Amino acid sequence: MYKVLITDPLSDLGIEKISQAEDIEVVRKTGLTHDELLLAIEDADALMVRSQTKVTADVIEKAKRLKVIARAGVGVDNIDIAAATQKGIIVVNAPDGNTISTAEHTFAMLISLARNIPQAYHSLLQGEWNRKAFVGTELNQKTLSIIGLGRIGSELAKRAKAFRMNVIAYDPYLSDDRAEKLGVKKADLEEAIAQGDFITVHTPLTKETKHLIDRNMFAKMKDGVRILNCARGGIIDEQALYDAIQEGKVSGAALDVFESEPPRDQPLLTLPQVIATPHLGASTVEAQENVAIDVSEEVLHILRGEPFKNAVNLPSVPAELQQKLQPYQELAEKLGKFVSQISKGALSQITITYAGEVAEFDVSPLSRTVLKGVLSHYLNNVNDVNAPHLAKKRGVQVVEQKTMSSQGFTQYIKVEVKTSTEIRSVAGTLLNGFGARITKINDYPVDVNTHGHLLFIEHQDLPGAIGRVGTLLGSQNINIATMQVGRQMIGGQAIMILQIDKPLPDKLIESIKEINEIQSLYEVDL
Ligand SMILES: NC(=O)C1=CN([C@@H]2O[C@H](COP(=O)(O)OP(=O)(O)OC[C@H]3O[C@@H](n4cnc5c(N)ncnc54)[C@H](O)[C@@H]3O)[C@@H](O)[C@H]2O)C=CC1
Ligand SMILES: O=C(O)C(=O)COP(=O)(O)O
């Protein structure tokens, strides 16, 4: 039974499926204090949040079973991704579910800002009839500068164009083609800042975008510019915005988000030029259902070990590629597991070589799986998420290469590890109808399947050595399922790989090691 902890208000309908799943216990606890969260997270397998819950490093540290943090929305700035990654916890979000709602909310703010609707309504409620104070401005033919033309920025651009606005956009990842398709003029940041009658931000909040719009930027804007932030508090420097409004440089601002939420004693909210909403961009019935359904599905997939889509701390793998790589995943992991279990000494380098058909793909997801296989021999809780991070932290160099030489196989993967004392390698292939096979160990050609419990023995190729091992195993009632031998030359160095039905008792291992011709023995669990 998996425990899924939900600590922010999520749509009932959106979480219906996960709540009814037989292997899931859903626990909803909203409005927790930080200390209460530290307690509640301890035995949770999954945590589902919106923007309110702060999933800080100490929360992640306290979690003993946590496998996934799911953000029912887009921005993940309330989650310490680095801490989650280090612990191998997958972070997923719902990147598409609230796009339209947030774009529509931003558009509502844009019109409200242009026509002073909130201020006029407020004045009317005060018993006033003041038509002079609230003269607005048309959107028609005005320039809207969009900083960050992602999902929401793009939807906003379409709506602004329908209102006959000139839309210009700054986004370092915006291609000419996409800008053209959207009918948007691509600009650099300075241009977008200098030309906008309205400037709106739609980037994530990151180290790079924190205070992207600062005092310097305000100085470069048109006099009377209007500013919108329906993305994240902190992208715009709030103090600089306050000063720019007071100086008359900025004639109005519409804010849905704040550096600290809920804002307390926020000076911007005392200014008549500022209109604001309490982080309502994604607060529609539709968006909340969408994001809750999306992350519930992701959580179910992750807990059940099935493929999932929207991990924030794993590079995204297109579905088509994922499908092509799927058959190789098991081979990649088993090669890593095998080679690490037959190596001694401190690990310093892992070289992964791909040849044949598999080398035609982007193999980086497979390399992660190889790393997971290798490192899980040395460390607990290694997975695809934290494997590269752990390798780096331990100073293990990872080399990924492709070669033309596939050793006669249609596809071929070789994993070589270098330790402080030796170099070992294990290679394998996928055989039609037989699945993953290990085809080479060090320089010995073999044919071993990738399941169960194996003994890998290095010995001198002398008559009787193999028989003595067999006799000892038989005497202890250990059945040998399959056996492979290989040698470099008659009487020289040789290997034996025995597939046995159960692990050996320590005493028996010692007895085998005492046989004269035996040089080393490794137990390998695959
Ligand atoms: N107010 C609300 O309730 C909501 C707020 N949001 C916020 O809106 C943000 C954007 O959401 P989406 O459009 O869905 O994300 P997205 O990932 O589709 O778009 C973000 C865009 O920002 C661009 N970008 C990144 N760094 C940049 C930089 N330094 N300068 C300019 N552009 C940069 C990216 O290239 C990308 O195109 C989210 O990160 C979230 O913080 C999202 C949903 C609801
Ligand atoms: O999706 C986002 O990034 C949002 O900001 C929406 O936040 P919320 O889920 O409404 O707390």
The pLDDT confidence band at residue 104, using thresholds 50, 70 and 90, is very high
Does any ligand 1 atom lie closer than 6 A to the CB of residue 256? Answer: yes
Determine the Cα–Cα distance for residues 211 and 197; give it in Å rounded to an integer: 20
* Model confidence at 408: pLDDT above 90: no
Gap from CA of 143 to ligand 2 centroid (Å): 27
Q: What is the pLDDT of residues 185-200, one digit of tens each?
A: 999 999 999 999 999 9
| Whole-number pLDDT of residue 292 | 98
| Whole-number pLDDT of residue 219 | 98
Question: Ligand 1 pocket test: which of 52, 74, 261 has the largest number of ligand atoms within 8 Å of its C-beta?
Answer: 74
Which of the pair, 42 or 382, is modelled with greater confidence? 42
Which residue lies with its CA nearest to atom 36 of ligand 1? 150
> Average per-residue pLDDT in the chain?
95
How far is CA 519 from its chain centroid? 44
The pLDDT confidence band at residue 283, using thresholds 50, 70 and 90, is very high
Does any ligand 2 atom lie closer than 6 A to the CB of residue 105? Answer: no
The pLDDT confidence band at residue 319, using thresholds 50, 70 and 90, is confident
Whether the CA torsion 83, 86, 92, 98 is positive or negative: it is positive
* Model confidence at 103: pLDDT above 80: yes
The pLDDT confidence band at residue 264, using thresholds 50, 70 and 90, is very high
The mean pLDDT value for 443-447 works out to: 90
The mean pLDDT value for 43-67 works out to: 97
Question: Ligand 2 pocket test: which of 15, 48, 50 has the largest number of ligand atoms within 8 Å of its C-beta?
Answer: 50
Cβ-based neighbours of 362, under 8 Å, separated by 6 or more = 321
ipTM of the prediction: 0.99
In the chain, what are the domains? 2-96+286-303 (3.40.50.720), 99-276 (3.40.50.720), 315-450 (3.30.1330.90), 452-526 (3.30.70.260)
Q: Which amino acid is at 488?
A: Q
* Model confidence at 23: pLDDT above 90: yes
Catalytic residue, candidates 71, 159, 226, 232: 232
Is 232 annotated as catalytic?
yes
DSSP-derived secondary structure letter, 236: B
205 neighbors 77 (Cβ within 8 angstroms): yes
Which residue lies with its CA nearest to atom 7 of ligand 2? 51
| Whole-number pLDDT of residue 490 | 86
113 neighbors 200 (Cβ within 8 angstroms): no
The pLDDT confidence band at residue 458, using thresholds 50, 70 and 90, is very high
Query: What are the Cα distances from residue 56, in Å, to 187, 261, 291, 488?
Result: 36, 16, 22, 56
Query: What are the Cα distances from residue 237, in Å, to 114, 241, 435, 472?
Result: 22, 6, 57, 75
Does any ligand 1 atom lie closer than 6 A to the CB of residue 452? Answer: no
Does any ligand 2 atom lie closer than 6 A to the CB of residue 88? Answer: no
The pLDDT confidence band at residue 381, using thresholds 50, 70 and 90, is confident
Burial grade of 337 (CB within 10 A; 0-12, 13-18, 19 or more): buried
Gap from CA of 180 to ligand 2 centroid (Å): 29
Determine the Cα–Cα distance for residues 102 and 205; give it in Å rounded to an integer: 16
Is 451 annotated as catalytic?
no
Q: What is the pLDDT of residues 286-318, one digit of tens each?
A: 999 999 999 999 999 999 988 888 999 988 888
Question: What is the number of alpha carbons within 13 Å of residue 85 lying toward its C-beta?
Answer: 16
Cβ-based neighbours of 150, under 8 Å, separated by 6 or more = 171, 202, 203
Closest to 2 (Cα-Cα) out of 37, 42, 45 = 45
Does any ligand 2 atom lie closer than 6 A to the CB of residue 250? Answer: no
Is the model's pTM score more than 0.90? no
Question: Which single residue is written with the structure tokens 């050609």?
Answer: 445
Gap from CA of 204 to ligand 1 centroid (Å): 4
| Whole-number pLDDT of residue 465 | 87
Does any ligand 2 atom lie closer than 6 A to the CB of residue 283? Answer: yes
* Model confidence at 398: pLDDT above 90: yes
The pLDDT confidence band at residue 71, using thresholds 50, 70 and 90, is very high
Q: What is the pLDDT of residues 113-172, one digit of tens each?
A: 999 999 999 999 999 999 999 999 999 999 999 999 999 999 999 999 999 999 999 998
* Model confidence at 12: pLDDT above 80: yes
235 neighbors 203 (Cβ within 8 angstroms): yes
214 neighbors 201 (Cβ within 8 angstroms): no
Angle at 516 between CA 513 and CA 517, to 5 degrees: 90
The mean pLDDT value for 461-473 works out to: 90
* Model confidence at 7: pLDDT above 80: yes
* Model confidence at 440: pLDDT above 90: yes
The mean pLDDT value for 334-356 works out to: 95
Question: Ligand 2 pocket test: which of 98, 104, 209 has the largest number of ligand atoms within 8 Å of its C-beta?
Answer: 98
Catalytic residue, candidates 104, 261, 517, 523: 261
394 neighbors 347 (Cβ within 8 angstroms): yes
Question: Which single residue is written with the structure tokens 């849905």?
Answer: 256
Q: What is the pLDDT of residues 208-257, one digit of tens each?
A: 999 999 999 999 999 999 999 999 999 999 999 999 999 999 999 999 99
| Whole-number pLDDT of residue 305 | 87
